[in-house]
Structure 1
Amino acid sequence: MKKIYSSNDPQQIAMLQQILHRAGVPVTVVERGSALELMLIQPGYESVAKEIIREFKANPPNLSDFIHQQKSQPKQAQGPALWKILAQQAGVVTFIVFIAVLITALMQWLIAPTETISQLIFTPRGVPELSLGQPWRFVTPILLHFSATHLVFNLFWWWYLGGRTELAYGSGILAVVTLITAVVSNYFQWVSSGPLFGGLSGVVYGLLGFAMVVAWKKPSHPLSLPPFLLIFMIGWLLLGYTDILWVNVANQAHAVGLISGIILGFIIRFRDQQKASISRRF
Structure 2
Amino acid sequence: MREIGVLDHVQQADLLADYLLSEGIKCHIDNQDSQFVLWALDDDLVAKAKEHLLAFKANPLDPVYAEGAKAARQIRKEELARRKQYRKNIKDIRSSWSFAPTTGPTFVSALLLSICLIVGYLTWLGQAGNTITPRLLFSTDMNWSELKEGELWRLITPIFLHFGLMHILFNAMWLINLGPMIERRNGSLWLLGFVLITGIASNFAQAYFVSPAFGGFSGVNYGLIGYAWIMGRRAPGSGIRLSPQSAGLAIAWGLLGIAGEFVHHQSWMANWAHGVGFAVGCFWAWAETEKSR
TM range (shorter): 0.5 to 0.7
1:192, CA displacement in angstroms?
A: 2.2
CA 1:167–1:242: 2 relative to 1, 3 Å: same
Structure 2 residue ranges without an equivalent (≥5): 1-96
Q: Aligned residue for 2:272?
A: 252
* Contact 2:100-2:238 within 8 A present in 1 as well: no
* Contact 1:209-1:262 within 8 A present in 2 as well: yes
* Contact 1:213-1:262 within 8 A present in 2 as well: yes
> What SS class does the counterpart of residue 269 from structure 2 fall into?
coil
One of 81, 95, 98 as aligned partner of 2:113: 98
**Amino acid corresponding to residue 164 of structure 2 in structure 1:** S
Separation in 1, partners of 2:159, 2:170: 13
* Contact 2:235-2:289 within 8 A present in 1 as well: no
CA 1:196–1:209: 2 relative to 1, 3 Å: same
Q: Which has the larger radius of gyration?
A: 2
Pairing 1:176–2:193 present: yes
Deviation readout 1:11-46 (Å, 9 max, x if unpaired)? xxxxxxxxxxxxxxxxxxxxxxxxxx996615xxxx
Instruction: List structure 1 runs of 4+ shifted beyond 6 angstroms.
Output: 37-40, 244-247
Pairing 1:120–2:136 present: yes
* Contact 1:143-1:200 within 8 A present in 2 as well: yes
1:270, CA displacement in angstroms?
A: 2.9
Pairing 1:214–2:274 present: no
Q: TM-score, normalised by structure 2?
A: 0.59
Separation in 2, partners of 1:258, 1:115: 31
CA 1:130–1:206: 2 relative to 1, 3 Å: farther
Q: How does 1:10-159 map to 2 (within 5 A)?
A: 41=101, 88=103, 91-109=106-124, 114-125=130-141, 127-129=143-145, 131-132=147-148, 133-159=150-176
**Amino acid corresponding to residue 269 of structure 2 in structure 1:** V
1:139, CA displacement in angstroms?
A: 0.3
CA 1:224–1:40: 2 relative to 1, 3 Å: closer
Identical aligned residues as a percent? 31
CA 1:226–1:115: 2 relative to 1, 3 Å: same
Separation in 1, partners of 2:222, 2:161: 16
1:156, CA displacement in angstroms?
A: 0.9
* Contact 1:123-1:130 within 8 A present in 2 as well: yes
Separation in 1, partners of 2:100, 2:208: 44
Instruction: Number of aligned residue pairs: give it.
Output: 192
Pairing 1:187–2:204 present: yes
* Contact 1:185-1:253 within 8 A present in 2 as well: yes
**Amino acid corresponding to residue 119 of structure 2 in structure 1:** T
Deviation readout 1:196-215 (Å, 9 max, x if unpaired)? 10000000000111111222
* Contact 1:90-1:159 within 8 A present in 2 as well: no
Q: TM-score, normalised by structure 1?
A: 0.61
The two structures, once aligned, show a CA RMSD in angstroms of 2.8
One of 239, 245, 259 as aligned partner of 1:228: 245
